[in-house]
Amino acid sequence: MHGEYKVPGGKLVVVDLDDVDGRIRNFRLAGDFFLEPDDALPLIDGAVEGLLTDSDAATIAAAVRAALPEGAQLLGFSPEAVAVAVRRSLARATSWDAYEWQLIHSGSESPQMQLALDEVLAIEVGEGRRAPTLRIWEWEQPAVVIGSFQSVKNEVDLGNAAANGFEVVRRISGGGAMFMDANSVVTYSIYAPAALVQGMTFADSYAYLDEWVITALKSLGIDAFYQPLNDISSAKGKIGGAAQKRLGNGAVMHHATLSYDMDGEKMTQVLRIGREKMSDKGTKSAAKRVDPLRSQTGLSRAEIIDRLIETFTRLYGATPSEITPAEREKAEELVRTKFATPEWIGRVP
């Protein structure tokens, strides 16, 4: 069995092993990481050798850590990274380059249609009718997208939302509210087989699926990094957040919104939680515009999207694709029966 895990912001960890009567045998660790002293490598191999194949990641990491000599230096990886690679090997996880990725970047859609497309395209990938896909969203009307389990009245000031032209919609993934003013955010979705993140914790999978975005932002001069659980940040503050949904048909849907140009005052009028966060952080003026990507790069939103697409394509390969008529028909039906209904939007009042 073979397993790989690219540590977000770090190095590649590669493991090879056999499963013999429920125990790990012939274990070998490799990768482009740095390790001192040299003789720590066979000690790691020995620590994993013979462990039960159903050992969880914590058990594997603890065995590796206990085997390390005093003062050992692990640069670009960790005992936890070794454990993730082992679990991915045993679970027969795949890697980015195992797939022929497709890219969708089409015209504007309504907020409800965007969310319906997320569900439909994830289902299509899970059932094998569509190749794994990256989709860049476009829309031209403001909206608040609340998480699957959030309370409408606790999160949104409905009066101010209506006064500012913001529609409230609910997505299928968990997490917090997304304040999405027209043409002021960059949003993307990844639809992939769950095998891509097999053997990872949810926290590991978030960083893993967004590492290409960190690479793209760094190429624009932004000192970006991933802040667990689901934030993409920089030294100047949070840039965006991600959410994820695992479907029962074997697909994972992962989407993220990056702030390009956000009006902080409007956000605190519309989002109740926004007021609390501003107060907690001691923000003196919510009227100050928060525009991390625009202010940090000086680039247009279109130029930033182009860099994201270029980076993803360079790293993983992707061919242009479109939403098929059948997919659009299914999404339109979901808008009618689910995403535009008061029952769905108010499922948690």
Helix (H) and strand (E) counts in the chain: 13, 16
Please tell me the predicted confidence (pLDDT) of residue 235. 87
Which residues, given as ranges, of the chain have pLDDT below 70?
274-291
Query: What is 2-90's CATH topology?
Result: Enolase-like; domain 1 (3.30.390)
| DSSP 8-class letter at 100 | -
Instruction: Enumerate the CATH 3.30.390.50 domain ranges in the chain, comma separated.
Output: 2-90
pLDDT for 178-199, tens place per residue? 999 988 999 999 999 999 999 9
Tokens of 109: 């859609």
CATH number of 96-345: 3.30.930.10
Please tell me the predicted confidence (pLDDT) of residue 287. 39
- Please report how many Cα atoms fall inside a 13 Å half-sphere around the Cα of residue 121, on the Cβ side: 30
SS3 179: strand
Q: How far is CA 344 from CA 14, 115, 142, in A?
A: 44, 12, 19
Angle at 290 between CA 285 and CA 293, to 5 degrees: 160
Instruction: Enumerate the CATH 3.30.930.10 domain ranges in the chain, comma separated.
Output: 96-345
- Asked if residue 100 lies in contact with residue 317, where contact means CB atoms within 8 angstroms, the answer is yes
C-alpha span between 83 and 89 (Å, rounded): 10
pLDDT for 136-172, tens place per residue? 999 899 999 999 999 999 999 999 999 999 999 999 9
Q: How far apart are the first and last CA of the chain?
A: 48
